[in-house]
Amino acid sequence: MDHRMIVQLDKISKSYPEGSDNKRREIFNDLSLSIQTGQSVSVVGPSGCGKSTLLNIIGTLDSPDSGEVEVCGSNISNLNDKGLSALRADKIGFVFQSHHLLPQISVIENVILPNLASSSPLEQSECSNTAIQLLESVGMSDHAHKMPSEISGGEMQRVAVVRSMINSPELLLADEPTGALDRERSEELIALLLHLCDEHNTGLILVTHDVKTASRMERNLAFEGTSIVEV
């Protein structure tokens, strides 16, 4: 196991049943990929090519049909469900296209929530301070005690980004996080993501349809059929 690598995929294959016969649609075939600690990586490709499937496999929410997956120093085939949950809660942050904030609790409570799932949660006042600092870093500390329904979509997305950072993850997986934002807001959000990841030495894998956004990452990957190429 190479500890400079945050992600190591070794010859993974994945297919889904397609249509009524026993046909299967191949998403990856013998895909190998290594990502270094702290690296920022974009993933582009046409709709349906497998970008979210790749992120879900790296995020241990899905598993390949064959091949090895190592994430944050663990080979996921050695982990049971409890081990996988702990790996996700402690070391991996997720940001999705839509923010998934819980509407019943305030902005700051949303940011704190993933810390409750952590194996080593912060002490309460430290957790609140960290949450406030994170909200401050995205210009949202004045909104900390509002409900999600009282802030705009772009603001919710900024909250979702800092929520993903509350447990100081080693790896952040972002699946089209700017999908619902205008150009200016999405550039701001990407700058924020890069800044936070840089500050915490967090690896970032960002799925995007936008070439300009992709080009802001250190490394650019593109789907080509069932493999992935460096562009």
Binding site for Mg ion (CB under 5 A): 52
Give Cβ neighbours of residue 42 (< 8 Å, ≥ 6 apart): 206, 207, 208, 213, 214, 215, 216, 217, 219, 220, 221
Nearer to ligand ATP, 5 or 222 (CB): 222
Residue 50 binds which one of Mg ion, ligand ATP, none, with CB within 5 to 8 A depending on kind?
ligand ATP
Strand ranges (DSSP E) for 64-105?
Answer: 66-71, 74-75, 92-95
For residues 25-54, which are near ligand ATP according to CB under 6 A? 27, 45, 47-53
Q: In the bound complex, what is the minimum distance in angstroms from residue 76's beta carbon to ligand ATP? A: 18
Binding site partner of 44, from ligand ATP, Mg ion, none, Cβ cut-off 5-8 A by kind? none
Paired tokens of 29:
């075939």
For the beta carbon of residue 85, count every other beta carbon within 10 angstroms.
14
In contact, 223 and 44? CB cutoff 8 Å = yes
Residue 53 or 106 with smaller CB distance to ligand ATP: 53
Between 52 and 186, whose beta carbon lies closer to Mg ion?
52
Taking the complex as a whole, the smallest distance from the CB of residue 19 to ligand ATP amounts, in Å, to 11
116: three-class secondary structure by DSSP: helix
Q: How far is Cα 193 from Cα 174, in angstroms, rounded to an integer? A: 9
Smaller CB distance to Mg ion: residue 97 or 106?
A: 97
Residues that bind ligand ATP (CB under 6 A): 16, 27, 45, 47-53
